[in-house]
Amino acid sequence: MSAPELALIGLHGLPIIQPGDDLAALIAEALGRAGLTLHDGDVLAVTSKIISKAEGRYAALASVTPGDEALRLAAVTGKDPRMVELVLRESVAVVRSAPNVLVVRHRLGFVSASAGIDQSNVDGGEDTVLLLPLDPDASARRLREQLGERLGILPAIVVSDSHGRPFRLGNVGVAIGAAGLPALRDLRGQPDLFGRPLKISMQGLADEIASAANLVSGEGGEGLPVVLLRGLLFDATDGRATDLLRPPEQDLFRN
């Protein structure tokens, strides 16, 4: 069987998303303007930022009163104590703290810097920050169903965010929400080039989709928060981004 040809298409013309916006309607309109129709097997990679905006996940630093632990960590990290307080509220554990570094285990289960709280590409001034969606897997399922109702095709959805990595420089796209595809693909038992069965290979399919889409959507002023990926081959298994989380007891790098 020949290798699939993968196409990545950024959707132009989406407006600045506001709380309460109907993302399915806006994406459907953008597809129509581009002359695109969804096909079976299509994937839409959607940045967590526009989902958070539509869900109203804004916070005003002026309304935050930092507690004792936030004040202590702010002194260690040099970060705004109000921001540190928000990070703690979104987290279940502090993994590392150092000057200009605050790495936490997010309430959603993954480890990231500053709990994914961000000010880039967020309107509202320096006092306004944006939190990650409350439940990105649920957001992905809801968007998939709404697009299916509008367009008659159920695309797979990957909700992407950008994360750093502990032993490499540079951010990459990762999946924090998924619906309509296997987020984690088990390749064990499949033959390699020489017929030997794979023994430990597990593919983070949703993460790879998020990272590929990040090349198109970017992290600055590109204005392409939705990327259509066409040509991927995957089973119809409906996974979740939480399938990608390594259990804490298997974390070889924790204290």
Per-residue pLDDT, 253: 62
In a domain, 2, yes or no: no
pLDDT tens profile 100-131: 999 999 999 899 999 999 877 677 667 899 99
Per the prediction, the chain carries an average pLDDT of 89
Per-residue pLDDT, 122: 73
Shortest CA distance to 110 belongs to which of 11, 198, 241?
Answer: 241
Percent of the chain with pLDDT over 70: 89
In a domain, 254, yes or no: no
Q: Is the predicted pLDDT of residue 222 greater than 80, yes or no?
A: no
Are both 93 and 218 inside the same structural domain? no
Per-residue pLDDT, 235: 84
Are both 120 and 228 inside the same structural domain? no
Per-residue pLDDT, 188: 62
pLDDT tens profile 139-156: 999 999 999 999 999 999
Are both 38 and 143 inside the same structural domain? yes
pLDDT tens profile 191-216: 667 667 666 666 789 999 999 999 99
- Most confidently predicted of 19-33, 173-187, 240-254: 19-33
Cα–Cα dist 158/137, whole Å: 9
The residue out of 98, 128, 158 marking a domain boundary is 128
Q: Write out the two tokens for 248.
A: 């804490």
pLDDT tens profile 55-96: 999 999 999 999 999 999 999 999 999 999 999 999 999 999
Kindly give the pairing relationship between strand 43-47 and strand 156-165: parallel
Are both 211 and 149 inside the same structural domain? yes
Domain total of the chain: 2
Mean pLDDT, rounded, for 239-243: 89
Per-residue pLDDT, 141: 97
First to last CA, the chain: 46
Are both 101 and 143 inside the same structural domain? no
Per-residue pLDDT, 1: 43
- Single-letter amino acid, residue 105: R
User: DSSP 3-state helix, strand, coil percentages of the chain (rounded to 5)?
Assistant: 30, 25, 45
Per-residue pLDDT, 236: 77
- pLDDT class for 233, splitting at 50, 70, 90? confident
In a domain, 95, yes or no: yes
Give the CATH number, domain containing residue 196: 3.30.1330.100
Q: Model's pTM, two decimal places?
A: 0.90
Q: Do 102 and 87 meet the contact criterion of CB atoms below 8 Å apart?
A: yes
Q: Is the predicted pLDDT of residue 247 greater than 50, yes or no?
A: yes
Residue 36's CB is within 10 A of a number of other CB atoms, namely 14
Cα–Cα dist 246/187, whole Å: 17
Q: Write out the two tokens for 202.
A: 């597990």
Mean pLDDT, rounded, for 25-50: 95
Q: Which helix (H) or strand (E) holds 212?
A: helix 205-217
- Single-letter amino acid, residue 115: A
DSSP state of 118: B
Are both 42 and 84 inside the same structural domain? no
Q: 87 or 244: which carries more pLDDT confidence?
A: 87
Domain containing 75 equals 59-128
Q: Write out the two tokens for 32.
A: 């129509």
Are both 115 and 240 inside the same structural domain? no
